[in-house]
Structure 1
Amino acid sequence: MENIEAKQVIDRLGGTSKVAALCDIKPPSVSDWKKHGIPKPWRKFLLSAHPEAFQPAGQPGQESAAA
């Protein structure tokens, strides 16, 4: 089963390869997050670095995060 929040965050940050590069890890690890969720330490890092990626759809500022 797919983890919807993780998939949305990864997509908003530019996709699997971009997130892997941002975290200095391999893309298959990030792909696993789409199934099992973002591990807590990486979630905290990404939330701190890119809080806009975690905003619910339709929230102000969400459009600029995708651009």
Structure 2
Amino acid sequence: MHDPNAIIDKLGGTSAVAQIFGIKPGSVSEWRHTGIPPARLMYIKLAYPELFSSASTPTNHEPATAAAA
């Protein structure tokens, strides 16, 4: 199972992830406690596969723009 806090932090934090999905930061903040919803996690895995490879540890990942998403 993936740690939602680590994923959110690697993507730039709560506000950055909220911007990626076009939702309110409070919704993403809730994911830190309840887990990332499966459909959102699937998108993250496809859009940011480097977050899930053991060989890579990104330090400053730029969030996707609305046009790219």
Q: TM-score range by the shorter chain?
A: 0.7 to 0.9
Aligned length: 59
Percent identity, aligned pairs only, is 39
Q: Which has the higher helix share?
A: 1
Q: What is the TM-score of this pair, normalised by structure 1?
A: 0.79
Runs of 4+, deviation exceeding 2 Å: none
User: Runs of 5+ in structure 2 lacking a partner?
Assistant: 61-69
Which blocks of at least 5 consecutive residues in structure 1 are unaligned? none
Query: Alignment partner for residue 24 of structure 1, among 22, 34, 44?
Result: 22
Q: TM-score, normalised by structure 2?
A: 0.77
TM-fit CA distance, 1:54: 2.9
Cα-Cα RMSD? 1.4
